[in-house]
Structure 1
Amino acid sequence: MRKSSSWMTLWDDRIMEVIRDEGPSSASELVDHKYIHVSKSTISRRLNKLADNDLLERLPNGVYSLTKNGEQYLDGELNVAKQEFQSK
């Protein structure tokens, strides 16, 4: 079972799941995904928030990939609420 933090949303899980399953991605690519039904600006904010909290890594050109912490969270091995992330 995943242990999220109060700053996280349902879309965070979906975004990370898509990136894990399909590889690094950008807001422009994710906005057209069949499992993500929010605006590009919301996706961009969520990508940044996840990167700020070490669940995603920023790559060049607005692309994001899953970090080790992101993998562990998705696998239910990391309690994000207990981590000392930035939660900006």
Structure 2
Amino acid sequence: MGMQDTLHALADPTRREILNLLKQSRLSAGEISNHFSISGAAISRHLSVLKDADLIRNEREGKFIYYELNATVLEEILLWISELKGGNDYDQTK
């Protein structure tokens, strides 16, 4: 997937919150839904966008699908931003 898909996925606050939940542990769609006041179908759509952008992975266990963060894509975005900024200079005083 391209960076455009990743940035599109990250642009939505609900999807960013889903990523925050998944950085702590893997969760089922139902467990993720419990943190929001939107429909299960809306959560499913958000998960689909995140999966298409390769920001999350899923694994089926019995009748449940568990989602987990794929930090590799985030590392690539951070590297690109760092290069865009001008290297590994994280000095915020400039």
The normalised TM-score by structure 2 is: 0.61
Identity of aligned residues (%): 24
Post-superposition Cα deviations, 1:31-78, rounded to whole Å, max 9, x if no partner, equal 112xx33221111111111111110001113211001235538xx726
Supply the RMSD in Å over aligned alpha carbons.
Answer: 2.4
The one of 24, 29, 32 equivalent to 2:31 is 29
Paired residue secondary structure (2:68) = strand
Structure 1 gaps of 5+ residues are 80-88
Structure 2 gaps of 5+ residues are 1-5, 81-94
In 2, distance between residues paired with 1:64 and 1:78?
A: 24
Paired residue secondary structure (1:38) = coil
| Greater helix content | 2
In 1, distance between residues paired with 2:48 and 2:79?
A: 20
The answer for the alignment partner of 2:3 in structure 1 is none
Q: 1:47 to 1:70 in 2, by over 3 A?
A: farther
Runs of 4+ residues deviating >4 angstroms: none
Q: 1:45 to 1:78 in 2, by over 3 A?
A: farther
Q: 1:41 to 1:70 in 2, by over 3 A?
A: farther
The normalised TM-score by structure 1 is: 0.64
Q: 1:52 to 1:44 in 2, by over 3 A?
A: same
Structure with greater Cα Rg = 2
Matched, 1:12 2:1: no
